[in-house]
Amino acid sequence: MNANGRNWIVFAGSIAVTLAVATGYLATAGGDDDNIRRVLRRTGDAAFIILLLVFVARPLRQLVATPFTRTMLRYRRLLGIAFAGVHSAHLLFILYRHGQGGNFEFLVAENLPGGLVYLVILLMFATSFDRTARAIGPRNWRFLHKAGLYVVFAAFVQAVAPRNSDEIVSIYGALTALAATAVAIRVAAFVKRRQA
């Protein structure tokens, strides 16, 4: 199977698995709004964890050359595609929740940042295939994927950052700590490159 076919399988598979687990949860726990919001939080968390792996794959390999970091870097693109799939499923649940409430009146001012993040994710996914990557050229591809990675990462950090002292010891605090560790890894790899 060629790389493009594998990309589509990973994308569709990550959507299918996310939908299956989340709908299974709703089928047993109930489809009330609290449970739908819980699904939204957990699918967002799952997407963020995959994003963190993408974010640190290259710098971690530069810092620690092991078979594990080599494998992470080798499959970095597929991890990014899995992230796009999980976050696409997350979007489907957002739409489902609004549909349940009969409210599709998304306020542009409130949803524009999230919409722009989804646009960046879409552009990165669309250019993860050989033909589209060649079409935009290596320089534009590198800019889109590097800048896009930082934009999406920053948006997720803002979304999971603890809002009060109680959330510091919650999953939000844990995800924020992982994000800080990921930034430290990238900084350490940058310093190592500059000193080389």
Q: pLDDT tens for residues 135-188? A: 999 999 999 999 999 999 999 998 887 776 666 667 888 888 999 999 999 999
Mean pLDDT value across residues 7-19: 96
**pTM, entire model:** 0.90
Kindly state the tokens that stand for 48: 């963020």
Give the pLDDT confidence score for residue 19 in this predicted structure. 96
pLDDT at residue 55 tops 90: yes
Rounded Cα distance between 177 and 161, Å, is 9
Q: Which domains does the chain have, with CATH numbers?
A: 3-195 (1.20.120)
Nearest-angstrom CA–CA distance, 134 and 113: 29
- In terms of pLDDT, which residue wins out, 67 or 113? 67
Torsion of CA 62, 65, 71, 73, to 10 degrees: 10
| pLDDT bucket at 108, cuts 50 / 70 / 90 | very low
Q: Write out the two tokens for 113.
A: 């940042």
Q: How far apart are CA 188 and CA 43, in angstroms?
A: 30
Average pLDDT over residues 26-50: 93
